Chains A and B, each alone.
Chain A
Amino acid sequence: MIGGLFIYNHKGEVLISRVYRDDIGRNAVDAFRVNVIHARQQVRSPVTNIARTSFFHVKRSNIWLAAVTKQNVNAAMVFEFLYKMCDVMAAYFGKVSEENIKNNFVLIYELLDEILDFGYPQNSETGALKTFITQQGIKGQFQTKEEQSQITSQVTGQIGWRREGIKYRRNELFLDVLESVNLLMSPQGQVLSAHVSGRVVMKSYLSGMPECKFGMNDKIVIDKAGKGGVTDEVGKSDLGGGGSTSGKQSIAIDDCTFNQCVRLSKFDSERSISFIPPDGEYELMRYRTTKDIILPFRVIPLVREVGRTKLEVKVVIKSNFKPSLLAQKIEVRIPTPLNTSGVQVICMKGKAKYKASENAIVWKIKRMAGMKESQISAEIELLPTNDKKKWARPPISMNFEVPFAPSGLKVRYLKVFESKLNYSDHDVVKWVRYIGRSGIYETRC
C-alpha cells in the first residue's frame, strides 16, 4: 500500500509531504530528490527503486507527484490514484501549479486525509468529495444532522458518486468524443505504426437518479444486433457527427475502461453501457483502436543534401477528410541538423520560421479544409564540422485538431430514463461533439 505521498516543485523542494506508514522515513523525501529530480541522467522510468523503497512519480508541468512504498503494491493502482489525485486537485483549484499548491496546501492535506486512509485509496469522486470538503470557510457547524447523515449514507452507500435530490429546471447533457491519433510513417508513405486513444467525456445536468444507456458503433454490438434483426435503433438514434466514414458502419475497439458508475456486469453480458451518471463533468470511458484509422493528414518529405554545406528540404502536406470540414491549429515541425548556420524558408500557406533554440523549422497554418494540399521548401546552410557523425534525421512531426473522430467511432444513442421524476428521454437536451487531435504524429524523412 502507499506509504507516503510527496509533491515537489521543479527544484526538488517539498511542497506537500504526507506519510501514511511508519516504514517511510524522512530520508525517503531526500532519496527521491537526489536520485530522480536531481539525477544527472534524466530518469525516464516512472517507477524508481531506491534502497528497497519504490517511488512512483508523475509529472504535471513543473510539479512532481511521488507515491512511496516499501511494499509490493499494484503499480497500476498507484498510478491510477496519482492521476485521480491530479484530477481532484484540478477540480478544486484549477491548474496544478506550484503557486496553486502553495495557496491550497491546507485543502490538499484535507483531501489527502480523505482519499487515502493508511495508504489505501478511498472515495476519490470529485462530486462526492465536494459535498463535504468545501472551500467556503467553515460550514460544518451549520450542517444539519440530516445533511450529515445523508453524506454518510451516500459515501458509504452503493452509489457513492451521486447524491439524491438533485434538481435542474432544464435537463441537459453534453457528450464529447476526444481522440488523439498517433502515427509513425516511413518516408515512402508506409504506415509503420498507428493507433488512436480516445475518451468519452460527459457533462450532465440531470435531475433525480436517472438511468442512462449509451450506445456506439462498436463492432460486437452491431454484429449482435444485426443477427438479432433489431436494426431500427441504428437509424433512429444516430446523434449526428461528421467524418468521412459514412460507408463504414462499425469499428473494432481494442480495449476500453469505464468510469466506476458503469455497470460492468451488464457490459460483460449484454455489451450495453448503462449507468447512473455522476453530476457534472466526468470521463465515461477510455478506449483504444488500431484498425481502420482515418489519417487526417499525409506528410510527404523530400530532403536533398547538396554538398557538405547545404541541405534542401521540401515538405508537402495533404489533408485527407471531407472538404466541408476544417482542420485547425496545424503545426509542422521539421528538424534541422545540429550544425545549421542559416535557413531560408518559402511556404505557400501559413507562417514558417526557423527556431534555433529547438533546432527545427516550425510551420504553422491556422486552418485548412479537407482534400487540400500545401507545400513548404527550405534551404538549410550548414557549417562544416570535424565530427564525422552523420545527421540522424529525426522524423518530421505534426500537430492539428480536426472535428471528427479519426477512429470512426460514432455515438448511436444516449438514452435517459428517470422513473420517479416526471421527465423522459425526449425532454433531455443532448449535445454531441467530436474532436480529433494529433498525438505523436510523425513521418520519417
Chain B
Amino acid sequence: MPAVSKGDGMRGLAVFISDIRNCKSKEAEIKRINKELANIRSKFKGDKALDGYSKKKYVCKLLFIFLLGHDIDFGHMEAVNLLSSNKYTEKQIGYLFISVLVNSNSELIRLINNAIKNDLSSRNPTFMCLALHCIANVGSREMAEAFAGEIPRILVAGDTMDSVKQSAALCLLRLYKASPDLVLMGEWTSRVVHLLNDQHMGVVTAAISLITCLSSKNPDEFKTCVSLAVSRLSRIVSSASTDLQDYTYYFVPAPWLSCKLLRLLQCYPPPEDGAVKGRLVECLETILNKAQEPPKSKKVQHSNAKNAILFEAISLIIHYDSEPNLLVRACNQLGQFLQHRETNLRYLALESMCTLASSEFSHEAVKTHIETVINALKTERDVSVRQRAADLLYAMCDRSNAKQIVAEMLSYLETADYSIREEMVLKVAILAEKYAVDYSWYVDTILNLIRIAGDYVSEEVWYRVIQIVINRDDVQGYAAKTVFEALQAPACHENMVKVGGYILGEFGNLIAGDPRSSPLVQFNLLHSKFHLCSVPTRALLLSAYIKFINLFPETKATIQEVLRSDSQIRNSDVELQQRAVEYLKLSSIASTDVLATVLEEMPPFPERESSILAKLKKKKGPGAVSVELEDGKERGELNGGGDRGGDAAIAASNASTPSPSADLLGLRSAAPVSGATPSAGSLLVDVFSEAGPAATSAGVNDDGFLRFVCKNNGVLFENQLLQIGIKSEYRQNLGRMYLFYGNKTSVQFVSFNTTVSYEIKSRILNVQTKTVEPLVEGGAQVQQVINIECLTDFIDAPLLNIKFRYGGALQNISLKLPVTINKFFQPTEMAAADFFQRWKQLSQPQQEAQKIFKASHGMDTEVLKAKLLGLGTALLENVDPNPENYVCAGVIQTKAQQVGCLLRLEPNAQAQMYRLTLRSSKDTVSQRVCDLLAEQF
C-alpha cells in the first residue's frame, strides 16, 4: 500500500505489510502477526487516548491481519469510534472495518446504527454515501430493519444530491434482494417511478435497476413506468452521440441505460396506449437502423456497446411477438451476424434466432438462413456455437425442409462432440417422426441413426420404429429389407440387432422370397450376432427364433438345435434359460395350428381417441402458439396414415399400450396384474415431450393420477428428459408429498420452476410448496416438499406445473398431483353388527353411490385386497355373509368435518364384473370415492 500523501500514508502499516510479505515461512508470519497484535493491544488499552490517525492505522492493521485469515476479537470499539470522526479517511476506514468484520453483537450494532443514522441525516453527501455503501455491503436483516424505512425517503427527497440518490437506489435494491418483506415501497412507488425522468443519467441508471427488480415482483404497481421508460428510451435513441457527454461510450449514447430500459420493458406486455406503442416501435426501428449504419469507430468497445443494445432490443421484439415487420427485420439483422467474424456474435445470433424461429411471424424469415446455419454446424470451431446451431436447426425445422435438416444433422452426428450426441439423436428422432410423410424415409433415417450413433439411441427411439412398422402395413416389407441389409454390415450396433431381430421375426416372410434372404440366411445372419449381444438382446433374439419356427417351418430343426445347445438350455441367466426351455418345448409339443395362433403376428398397437388432441383443440384459442398446434396435426398424420383425421393417431403413442418391451410373445406380460407397469405407456409419448408440451401432460397425467389412488409412492411421470418420482404420507387431514425431479439427460435444466395451482378461493385444500433450485444439473435429482391440508372434501386435484429450459427450448409439463379424497381416510375396524347398523343409518338415496362395471384387470383376491387397503380403509373380515365380497370402512378426515364411509365390493367372477356400493354421510364423498375406485379394478 504505497503512501498516498504525507498526511494519509500510514508508514507503520506499510512497514508491517512489507514485513509480512518478506516472511520466509508461515511460522515467521505468525510470529510477526502475534507481535503486532500484542502491540496493538497494548495501544488500545483503556488508559491511553489515541488520536484519530493512530486509531485509523491500527484498525487498518487489524483489518489486514483479518484478511490474511486470522481471527480478530478486539478493535471493534475503536472502529466504531472512527465512524464519528470528521475526517473522510478515518470514517472510510471505520466503515470498511465494519462492513468486513461486523457481527451481530448487540451493543455494537446499536452504536453502529447510531453512527450510520447520524451520517445519513448529515448534509454532507460524501458521508451519506459512505453510510449507504456500508448498509449495502453489510446488507443484513438487522440493517434492513433499521434503515429500510429511511432510504426511500432519501431517494425521493428533492434536495438530495445526485450521487447520494444513486447510492440510495442501489442500497435499496440490495436490501430488497436480501429481505424483500422489509422493504415496503407503498407510498414511494410513484415517486420512485418518476426518477426515470431525472435529469441525471446516473440516477436514472441506478433507479432503473431498482425498478426492474421491484416490478418483476409486483408488476401492477409499477405499470406506469412503461410509458416513462419508452419516452426516456426514445430520447436517448434519438439523441446524437455528442448530446449526452459523459454518458456517451465510444460514440454510443448511454448504452447501459438503454439496455436496462429495454430489459425493464421486457417485464411488461406491449403497451396498450397507441401513442406509446408507436413511439416504442419507432425506437426499436431506430435501433435496428443504427445497426445498419457504418461503425463510427473501429474500436471493439464501440461495436460491443452497439450490439448490446441491439440484442436487448431484439429480445424485446421477441418478447412482444406482435410486430411481424420488426421480427423479420430482427431476423435479417441476426442473419448478418451469423457470418460475423466474432464468435460471440455468432453464438448470440444463433441463440436469439432460436427464439425467433418459434414465432409464427418470423419462422419463414429464419428459414431463409438455413444454409448458413448448416454451414455453421459443419465448420464452426467452437462447440458451444455448434450446439446452438443444432438447436436452431431443430427449431426452424418444418415439413418443407425436414428432409434436408434431418440429413444434415445425421451427417453431422458422425463428427459431433460426445457431449451433445445424445441430444442430437433425440432431436433427429423427433424431427424424423414429426415430419415424416414417407415411411420408408422414416425407417431409413432411424436405422441410419442407430448405425451412426447407436450408443446414444435410447430404448424409446427404437421402440417407436417398431411400433410404427407394425402399425403400418405398407412399410413392413421395406423395413424388413432395409433391416436385413443393415444387419449384413460386419459390425452393427446392438440396437440395430434388436430392431432387426424384432422386425425379421415379425415380417421376415415378406422378404423370404428372395433367395438372397431366404429363411435360413436370415436366421444365420441373426444368429451370427447373437453371441456379441447382451442378455436382454439375446432374449429378444430367442423370441425372434421361435417366431421363425412359425414363419418358416423349414428352419425348425436348425432352430431347435440351437435352442437345445447347452449354451441356451443351460444358460446361467435364468431368463435366457427359461425362454430356451419353453420355446423348445413349445416348438416340439404344439401343433402347427397352435403354434400359428400363439406366435401370430403382433396386433397393431391399440389406438384410442386422443386426449392430447382434445386438449390441443381447447387451447386453440388465443394462447396457443401455432407451432405446437402444427406439431399435433403433423403427428396425427404420421400415425393415422393418410386420412386427415389425425385424432386416432397420437394414440399409438398414448399411454396404456401393452408393454412394447423385448417380449414378443407377450407370454409374461399376461401375468402383471396391477396394471401399474409405470413406464409402459409413457415411454412412447416421451419421444415427443420436447415438442408438444401441452400434449404430453394431458396424455400421461390422468393415467399417472389414477395409478396413485391406491398407492402413495412411485413414478408419477417420466419422459425422455425428466422423471418425477413421488413419495407421500398422510395423517388425518394432513399430507406431505415429496416430489423427486430427476434430470435424465446429461445437460442441465435452467430456470427450472414448479408451481402447484389450486383454486384457493374455494377453500378446499391448503397447499404449501417450497420452491426448488432453478438449476438442475444433468443426471441430478432435486426434491420438493409439498404440504397439503385438506379443509373439506374435494373432487379436483391440484395441478402441478413444471417449466424449465432444456437446450434453449422451453419445456412445459402440467400434471395432476395425485391427491385424492381417499388419501385422508382413517381406517375404522368394526364388527359385523356395527357395520350393518351403520349401513342402515346411511340409507338415504343421495348418501349411496353405486357402480357396476367390467373388470379391466384380473380378479385376483390378493390384489383386490391390496388395493382396498391401499385406498386407506380398513378391510373388514367376516362381515359380509358372502365370503367373496369385500367390505371396508373408514373415516375421511378433513379440517371441516369427518365423513364416515362404508364400502362394499361384490365381484362376479363369471361375468368378470364388479358391483361397488359406497355409503357415506356426505353425498359428494360417496360419489367421488366411487368414481375413483371404479377405475381401479
Contact = CB atoms under 8 A, between A and B. Distances in A.
B74 A385 contact: yes
Q: Which of B38, B42, B74 counts the most chain A CB atoms within 10 A?
A: B38
A357 B32 CA distance: 6
A339 B62 CA distance: 13
Interface string A395-433: 000000000000000000000000000000000000000
A106 interface: no
A136 B105 CA distance: 70
B45 A383 contact: yes
A54 to B, nearest CB: 25
A357 B25 CA distance: 14
Interface string A209-246: 00000000000000000000000000000000000000
Contacts of A387: 73
A386 B34 contact: no
Nearest to A389: B73
Contacts of B669: none
Contact of A341 (B25, B44, B73, B76): B44
A381 B38 CA distance: 11
Contacts, number: 49
B74 A340 contact: no
Contacts of B37: 338, 356
Contacts of A383: 41, 44-45, 74
A342 B45 contact: yes
A357 B39 CA distance: 10
Interface residues of B, number: 20
B38 A356 contact: yes
B857 interface: no
Interface of B is mostly: helix
B129 to A, nearest CB: 28
A351 interface: no
Interface in A326-372: 338-342, 356-359
B344 to A, nearest CB: 33
Contact of A356 (B24, B34, B103): B34
A167 interface: no
A10 interface: yes
B42 A357 contact: no
Contacts of B105: 386
B832 interface: no
A62 interface: yes
B363 to A, nearest CB: 52
Interface in B11-46: 24-26, 31-32, 34-35, 37-39, 41-42, 44-45
B108 interface: yes
Given A381-B45, A383-B41, A10 B24 contact: yes
B25 A386 contact: no
Nearest to A387: B73
Contacts of B25: 10, 62
A396 B10 CA distance: 38
B41 A386 contact: no
A357 B34 contact: yes
Contacts of A357: 31-32, 34-35, 38
Given A10-B24, A10-B25, A386-B108, A341 B45 contact: yes
A358 B31 contact: yes
B612 to A, nearest CB: 52
Contacts of B38: 340-341, 356-357, 359
Nearest to B73: A387
A386 B42 CA distance: 16
A88 B676 CA distance: 76
B34 A339 contact: no
B755 to A, nearest CB: 43
A10 B29 CA distance: 14
Nearest to A382: B41
Contacts of A359: 34, 38
B74 A356 contact: no
Contacts of A342: 42, 45
Given A357-B34, A386-B105, A386-B108, A339 B41 contact: yes
A391 to B, nearest CB: 11
A378 to B, nearest CB: 15
Contacts of A385: 73-74
B67 to A, nearest CB: 15
A250 to B, nearest CB: 43
A386 B73 contact: yes
Interface string B84-96: 0000000000000
A186 B650 CA distance: 84
A386 B31 contact: no
B314 to A, nearest CB: 46
Interface string A44-84: 00000000000000000010000000000000000000000
Contacts of B32: 357
A384 B77 CA distance: 11
A383 B34 CA distance: 15
A176 to B, nearest CB: 31
Contact of A386 (B24, B35, B44, B74): B74
A357 B36 CA distance: 8
Contacts of A389: 73
Contacts of B76: 386
Nearest to A309: B46
A356 B35 contact: yes
Nearest to B25: A10
Q: Which of B35, B41, B45 counts the most chain A CB atoms within 10 A?
A: B41
Q: Which of B26, B37, B39, B76 counts the most chain A CB atoms within 10 A?
A: B37
Interface in B68-108: 73-74, 76, 103, 105, 108
Interface in B490-505: none
A356 B105 CA distance: 28
Nearest to B32: A357
A47 B200 CA distance: 64
Q: Which of A341, A342, A359 counts the most chain B CB atoms within 10 A?
A: A341
Q: Which of A42, A339, A340, A357 counts the most chain B CB atoms within 10 A?
A: A357
A16 B67 CA distance: 35
Contact of B42 (A10, A62, A341): A341
A423 B73 CA distance: 73
B573 to A, nearest CB: 35
A341 B75 CA distance: 13
Contacts of B26: 42
A387 B105 CA distance: 10
Contacts of B31: 357-358
Contacts of A62: 24-25
A180 to B, nearest CB: 22
A389 B74 CA distance: 13
Contacts of A340: 38, 41
A387 B101 CA distance: 13
Contacts of A358: 31, 34
Contact of B39 (A10, A42, A339, A356): A356
Interface in B633-677: none
Interface in A283-317: none
Nearest to A388: B73
B75 to A, nearest CB: 9
Nearest to A42: B26
Contacts of B74: 339, 383-386
Contacts of B103: 386
A115 B558 CA distance: 71
Contacts of B24: 10, 62
Given A339-B41, A341-B41, 19 more contacts: A10-B24, A10-B25, A42-B26, A62-B24, A338-B37, A339-B73, A340-B38, A340-B41, A341-B42, A342-B45, A359-B38, A383-B45, A383-B74, A384-B74, A385-B73, A386-B103, A386-B108, A387-B73, A389-B73
Q: Which 7 A-B residue pairs are closest in the complex by CB-CB distance?
A: A356-B38, A387-B73, A357-B31, A341-B41, A357-B35, A385-B73, A341-B45
Interface of A: 10, 42, 62, 338-342, 356-359, 381, 383-387, 389
9 contacts: A340-B38, A340-B41, A341-B38, A342-B42, A356-B37, A356-B38, A357-B32, A359-B34, A383-B74
